[in-house]
Every structure is written in structure tokens, then in C-alpha cells.
Structure 1
């Protein structure tokens, strides 16, 4: 599950992909579309863990994942060092594991685990 953008299309050309709707931040129609995708895909694939690297599409998948007792792992984005993202703030309370790339991100997410920069 990712956004249909040039880099994703080229990197995932030989993979099975479902394209999410974007933009996601503060876009209620796309939130509902992505919730519909979550309602279709999570029961079909039955993942043990739902992982997000910071896209707004994480919110409906995390909510459904929690309802279905799936573990959730969130990685806060690299470029938000001293402030949290909207998606991070929404997923923080429900994530089983909340990963940070900078020690400074602990100011916003004190229960986060610093794993260092992933480039």
C-alpha cells in the first residue's frame, strides 16, 4: 500500500501493490477511501503487523488493525526533527511500537524508540 508516484511505480514495478488515495492529510474524502481500502485489504491479507513509514494512509489501517488485534509499528519521518507530523500524532497513542530517527523527536514522542536515521 503506497501512493502511485513515479518513484514507487518504478521501484515496485514487479510487486503486487494497491495504490492508496492521496493527498491524505486533512482530506476527509481520501481518508474515507483509504478506510474502505483498509476494510477490504486487512481482512483479506490478515497481516500480523501493520507498518507505516509516516504516510497519512496509516491512520485507517492502524485503527482497523487495532480493532482486529494486529500489532502496529510506526516510523516517524526523517525530516520532522523538532515537531511531530499529523499522522505521527494520530498514530502515537495506538502504535504498539513507535520508532524515531532522531533523539530530538523524543520531546514530542517520549515513549518512542530511537532507531537512528534510515535513509
Structure 2
């Protein structure tokens, strides 16, 4: 199985790192921002650089859509996993088009309110994971697996 782990650097990357028991034995690649935490952690990993900032930045959304097309058509992952943020959106929609399974993990600091990325990808995910019971009211089809920390 080939896994694509896509997310912003910082806390989103930390969330994905917490999933190491899930991804460590699989062929995988990462998509994140070229920032010190990402380049430090991913030195031994295959990774692709996405454009930032993504918050309400249409230009970088378009650029990241082209990155998503290029990377996903080259790599052809079976599964795409993300904990956000905006960089996940084009990867999920293009991933859906190529038949990848989509797993989204809503961030830990959201207890009873959705994120923009969560709202955008919720309708197309195969598994939508939350970390608080209260979030099941926001995302009724979600699965609560508890805290990643």
C-alpha cells in the first residue's frame, strides 16, 4: 500500500507524525511546506514541497492544485491521509478523482466547531476522524478515535 501524508508544517505535521505506527511499514511520501520543522523531520523521507500560505490565498490554492496533479499522477497513492490545513483540499479532490481512499483527521484543538478544511473535505472523505465526542455533532458521520497525543 502506498500512502500520501499531506499537511501544513507545524501542528498538522506533528499530528501526522503521531500516526507513525500506521504508516511506518508502508511505501509513503509526504507533501508539506518547505519550513525548518518539515525539512528536519523529513530528511530520510520522500517529500514534495507545497506552496504557502494557504489561508484564503487563491493563488497558492491554484499552485497547489497543479502540485497535486503532478504528484498524485506520478505517485498514485492508495490512501491519502491529512490533518489539514488548506494544502489538503486540492490533494483530496484530485485524489478522489484518481481513486485514492481519503482519511481526514480534524485537528485536536477543535472541540465543537469545524475548520474550513474539514468542511471542504468532509463530503468526499472515506473516513473522517475527530478527537472529541462533541465533534460528532458537527460531523455526524465522523469516527471519534480520541486524542492522537
Query: Is TM (by shorter chain) over 0.5?
Result: yes
Residue 33 (str. 1) matches residue 63 (str. 2): yes
Which structure 2 segments of 5+ residues have no match?
1-30
TM-score (norm 2): 0.77
Which structure 1 segments of 5+ residues have no match?
none
CA RMSD of superposed structures (Å): 1.0
Q: Which runs of 4+ in 1 moved over 4 A?
A: none
Alignment of 1:13-28 (within 5 A): 13-28=43-58
Residue 95 (str. 1) matches residue 95 (str. 2): no
The range that moved more, 10-19 or 37-46, is 10-19
How far residue 52 of structure 1 moved from its aligned partner, in angstroms, is: 0.7
| 2:61 aligned counterpart, secondary structure | helix
Which of 77, 84, 87 is the aligned partner of 1:54?
84
Distance 1:41 1:31 in 2: 15
Aligned residues: 119
- The equivalent residue for 1:65 is 95
Bigger RCO of structures 1 and 2 (CA < 8 A, at least 6 apart): 2
How far residue 14 of structure 1 moved from its aligned partner, in angstroms, is: 2.0
TM-score (norm 1): 0.95
